[in-house]
Structure 1
Amino acid sequence: MPFDGLFTRAMVHELESQLISGRVTKISQPFPNEVILTIRAQRHNYPLLLSAHPSYARLQITTVPYNNPPVPTNFTMTLRKYLEGALLTEIKQRDNDRVVYLGFSTRNELGDLLPLQLSIEIMGRYSNVILIDQTAGKIIDTIKHVGPGQNRYRTLLPGAQYLAAPKQDKLNPFTDHTEKYLQLLQQYPNREILAAQLQQTYQGFAREHALYFADQLHAGAANPQQAWGKTLAYTEKPHPVIVPAGKKKFFSFLPYATSKVQQPDTLSKLLDLYYRDKATTDRVQQQGAQLFHVVRLNLQKNRKKLKKLQQTLDATQKADQFRIKGELLTTYLNRVSRGMDRIELPNFYDNEQKMTISLSKQLSPSQNAQKYFKKYQKLKNAVAYVTTQIALTKKELTYLEELETQLELAEPQDLQDIKVELQQQGYLKAQKRNKNGKVRKNKPSSPAVFYASDHTKISVGKNNLQNDRLTLKIAHKNDFWLHAKNIHGSHVIVHSSSPSTQTLLEAATLAAYYSKSRSAANVPVDYVAVRKVHKPNGAKPGFVIYEGQQTLFVTPTVEAITKLQQNKESSF
């Protein structure tokens, strides 16, 4: 990903204009590798995300809502002790590297000034967030502890002397007075080779950005110094874009010449848009690993069970054959002798055609006949039971497939509701009670809220508990209910008794997007008044029946959902 030194420089410039001289008002750590500092500056609260995630490490202001763990981590408590109320005095980048220093001014218990520094190191799996006492030059704490056994050169533990990460032996493009790029341009006319040489020569060039610089140097060959300087200047006046690259895409601060770009206002909004699905999916896979395992294990068990039940049901179709064999043995009992392993008898049910009947040598002729009658009776009795079990197993599979879809579409804050539901349904052990014999009740999460173009409120349930609560308790009888047709997905409520066609189409797009058919081109979505939606007695969570529906066909896209999200933000 091109969160390289160049993008880091652009981000630092953006954050400086928004956050300098702001005060830290709140500190939270929603995930093990990520911290959010809420900074009050220019009469606004800015949630500054510091991520040391091995794949998605970054620095940005985020608008994505996060739920904090009930018990703060040691690192969170340390940051709160030292940084709450601190003044942000400085944001600087080390050369053109992916290392950013946040300088804070605060006071210790004696009232003396205490300069502190947060070092954010964006280095893949070596990424880290480090709190440093600048006066003593020692580490106060880190989000990831690195002991001598892991790194002999650089120990990152509380109380250790802070040693900066090793620098790259490359030129800083912003302070290079040798203009090495001119020599490279003359020496390597090939675009790909020139880009590779720029990466080897200069700090902080991702492959995508190196190719862009190579193109600009070739295009401005008459005045390459001007082309070089103009391209570097985009770090101060960035053009945030998400650029398609085949089946993949990447984000950048450079003005790529493509018509298929998404252009948010700021680099922070760009990263929120880009990482919204990527980082969320990764977190859900990590935090919901147990839930995925339980659901998929039960799906596997029930699929095997259904297969065996179907085989048993197929076997019952042969029940009459056992009855006929028993009757033939009884009729021609005088022809059967103990010790025979088979016999051919005329079948009076089939024009006296011969039927071969297997016999047990250990049984008498009459016992062999009774054995076939017992098999017949057993299969006959099994039909009703197996038919009932097949119906129940199919319902169970439908429910588990619904849960699997919800996990695949879930956000981290939705996992707790799904876990509670699995506990209620007996798939997971019930939550342990505390010393007083009580179970801690987790506050149920709220449905997602969007606003249509005409500012009509639209609610989306993200799991079965939310769906039940939204449809059966929150929604008014005259509101409109939507759901992807015959597909696992979310309940969507339009909070209006007479929504416009455009609003219904936008709500249908949400219903299609939050369903199993998210990536389909044309998704049918049913809509009906809430008063026509009912939950059968004893039905599983999230299951309802409805009548009198009409159907819309929509194509869900990320752009459409983003627009509805922006409508939500503009409604406040």
Structure 2
Amino acid sequence: MSFDGVFLHAMTAELANQLVGGRVVKLQQPYPQDIIVVIRNQRQNFPLLLSINPTLARAQITRIPYANPKTPPNFVMTLRKYLENATVVGVEQVANDRILQLRLRSRNELGDQEDLLLIVEIMGRHSNIFLVESETNRIIDLIKHVSPDQNRFRLLMPGAQYVQPELQTGFDPFAAQAMTEQDWEQLLLALHDLKTKPNQVWQRTFQGLGKDTAAEIAQRTSRCLDLASLRDTATNFWQSFAQRQATIGDFQGQLQFSAIPYQTMTAQQTDFADLSTMLDQFYGQKAETDRKHQLASNMLQRLTTVIKRNQKKVKKLQATLDHAENADIDRIKGEILTTYLSQVPAHAKSVTLPNYYENETPLVINLAPDLSPSKNAQKYFTRYQKAKTALVVVAEQLQETQGELDYLLGVEAQVGVGDPKDLVDIQFELEQQGVLRPNQKRKKQRIKVNPAERFYASDGTEILVGKNNLQNDQLTLKTAKKTDLWLHTKNIPGSHVIISAADPSAATIKEAAMLAAYFSKARQSSQVPVDYVTVKAIHKPNGAKPGFVIYTGQHTLYVTPELALVDQLRQKPTQSVSK
């Protein structure tokens, strides 16, 4: 099921049971399109996620941890001002449309009671979240401001009157006595009209039906030939949503979810505690991937441009270096011309002279017709001197450019394996290195680097993995002990991995090596070489790029990355084996 009006009806009932009577204890905006309102009720915290992501818009209780931005956005600061310590007095759906309202009661700065509405419109790319005064219907603030040029139906700016969007046409299927006898008769006739698909008839008749819900009720009523059976079957279907049973299954080749088991879905999973738990499983990875794509798209585009530029530069410098290494032939031609100046005809385009360096073998020497023989010889000497200089200068430039290219390829790999919170560190690093333009709104002081990700070997030994260069430097040079074991893919961009033990087992080293291979540019390869050495053997040269270190005395292990093992190592064993 899409997050349609029918599913929102079931979710509203679930949220009302959990939240009404609770108190707002925390407000967060981890991402531009997501708000988390933590509500304390029934002696536990309920993190209510309100998302207006165009493809993932929803409202649910989430248990997935979110990292907060270093600087809170303006909208969440407004919410904190008005809603902290507010009491939830109601959770309601507008008709059977995709609009959810949280009724909250708070006190203003003077201590007077104030009734507020937190309204979530779940409408694809038009989704929005509003904070509205109940009494005056004035918009205090909204997460997405829309100029009058973009929406002439209503003004979506702070201070404007909140105008409800135009609701879907049709009857509310959950409203008692919504349809008359005549309405049911018209519905029955429309369903038996061969010119119109039953799915479309149901969507036109009732509010808030997604394609899957319409297909479900169309199938359940497909054998209803009289008015009584049609009405009873449809009414029973709507009433079944009172007994929620969160379900994930296959609908027409795609994974979908529903508030109750659907006959049109196959391979159904129903062992979820509630709707929110099911949505965490269904949306968790999708939401993470979507947020990562949003954060990484501009970064990757810029990285790709700079990488291509450096690759072209390396190619040109290598060609110049190859030419410079063959510069002795210019010196030889200049010397032979000088020796046989009297035999060189004026204004000739070329001349063939004996090469006394090669047993008098004839050597063809190209000439500039407009220059004298002596000046042609001087031209070859000048080219030789330039090439000698280039051997030193170009070699240095080639080494520097190749180092820059290796660094950028490493960062590109880190963007591919990093989580959204890791991409924030990578963005700051690229700003420091001049690859990205600095964020003018960012404070001058350095923001705190996110800690390395923590894993656990099968025997309980802690393994730390840096997901970007700033984390790598912090992990290897500041966090790790000198006796810890350090791992990194051999000559392949990737993460620094630390085994927090002086003498880890061979199995632990292999598991850590697998993590190093997985969080590298070679994660799709097999038999990836991974170096390991004690941290005391690691050295960072002065002025080196972030994440760059050198080491000696390493051992090399070959492993194949496995996603299943990565997920397994994220879980701490219930019992660790003592050494």
**TM bucket normalised to smaller:** 0.7 to 0.9
Change (3 A) 1:393 1:252: farther
Q: Which amino acid aligns with 2:538?
A: H
1:345 equivalent in alignment to 2:353: yes
* Matched residue SS, 1:334: helix
Conserved 8 A contact 1:450-1:568: no
Q: By how many angstroms is 1:24 displaced?
A: 0.5
Question: Which whole-Å CA distance do the structure 2 matches of 1:501 and 1:17 have between them?
Answer: 52
Conserved 8 A contact 2:22-2:42: yes
| 1:43-192 pair list within 5 angstroms | 43-62=43-62, 63-70=64-71, 72-73=73-74, 75-109=75-109, 111-175=111-175
Question: Which whole-Å CA distance do the structure 2 matches of 1:245 and 1:450 have between them?
Answer: 38
Change (3 A) 1:199 1:330: farther
Aligned residue among 446, 462, 474 for 1:469: 474
Aligned residue among 531, 536, 539 for 1:535: 539
Change (3 A) 1:10 1:115: same
Deviations 1:129-182 (A, max 9, x none): 112222233322222234544333222333333221111113334346566886
Aligned residue among 553, 556, 560 for 1:553: 560
Q: Which amino acid aligns with 1:524?
A: V
Deviations 1:97-124 (A, max 9, x none): 2111111122345544332211100112
Question: Which whole-Å CA distance do the structure 1 matches of 2:90 and 2:563 have between them?
Answer: 43
* Matched residue SS, 2:347: coil
Q: By how many angstroms is 1:22 displaced?
A: 1.2
| 1:388-467 pair list within 5 angstroms | 388-425=396-433, 427=435, 439-451=444-456, 456-467=461-472
Q: Which amino acid aligns with 2:240?
A: A
Aligned residue among 486, 490, 493 for 2:498: 493
1:306 equivalent in alignment to 2:314: yes
Conserved 8 A contact 2:240-2:260: no
Conserved 8 A contact 1:240-1:253: yes
Q: Which amino acid aligns with 1:113?
A: Q
Conserved 8 A contact 2:517-2:559: no
Conserved 8 A contact 2:526-2:559: no
Conserved 8 A contact 2:138-2:160: yes
Q: Which amino acid aligns with 2:476?
A: T
Q: Which amino acid aligns with 1:360?
A: A
Question: Which whole-Å CA distance do the structure 2 matches of 1:219 and 1:455 have between them?
Answer: 60
Conserved 8 A contact 1:405-1:516: yes
Which of 158-167 and 348-357 deviates more? Answer: 348-357
Q: Which amino acid aligns with 1:534?
A: I
Change (3 A) 1:158 1:323: closer
Deviations 1:251-296 (A, max 9, x none): 5545576559797654434444454454445545555666546534
Question: Which whole-Å CA distance do the structure 2 matches of 1:471 and 1:493 have between them?
Answer: 7
Change (3 A) 1:480 1:261: farther
Deviations 1:1-59 (A, max 9, x none): 92222332333233233222110012233333332212112222222222223343221
Question: Which whole-Å CA distance do the structure 2 matches of 1:419 and 1:241 have between them?
Answer: 36
1:203 equivalent in alignment to 2:204: no
Q: By how many angstroms is 1:186 displaced?
A: 5.3
Question: Which whole-Å CA distance do the structure 1 matches of 2:240 and 2:289 have between them?
Answer: 35
Question: Which whole-Å CA distance do the structure 2 matches of 1:507 and 1:217 have between them?
Answer: 57
Q: By how many angstroms is 1:126 displaced?
A: 1.4
Conserved 8 A contact 2:129-2:143: yes
Which of 22-31 and 532-541 deviates more? Answer: 532-541
Q: By how many angstroms is 1:569 displaced?
A: 12
Which TM-score applies when normalising by structure 1? 0.82
Q: Which amino acid aligns with 1:336?
A: V
Question: Which whole-Å CA distance do the structure 2 matches of 1:215 and 1:509 have between them?
Answer: 50
Q: By how many angstroms is 1:376 displaced?
A: 2.8
Change (3 A) 1:218 1:82: same
Q: By how many angstroms is 1:428 displaced?
A: 5.8
Conserved 8 A contact 1:242-1:270: no
Aligned-residue sequence identity (percent) comes to 43
Question: Which whole-Å CA distance do the structure 2 matches of 1:186 and 1:302 have between them?
Answer: 67
Question: Which whole-Å CA distance do the structure 1 matches of 2:507 and 2:269 have between them?
Answer: 25
| 1:290-369 pair list within 5 angstroms | 291-292=299-300, 295-347=303-355, 354-369=362-377
* Matched residue SS, 1:67: coil
Give me the CA root mean square deviation: 4.1
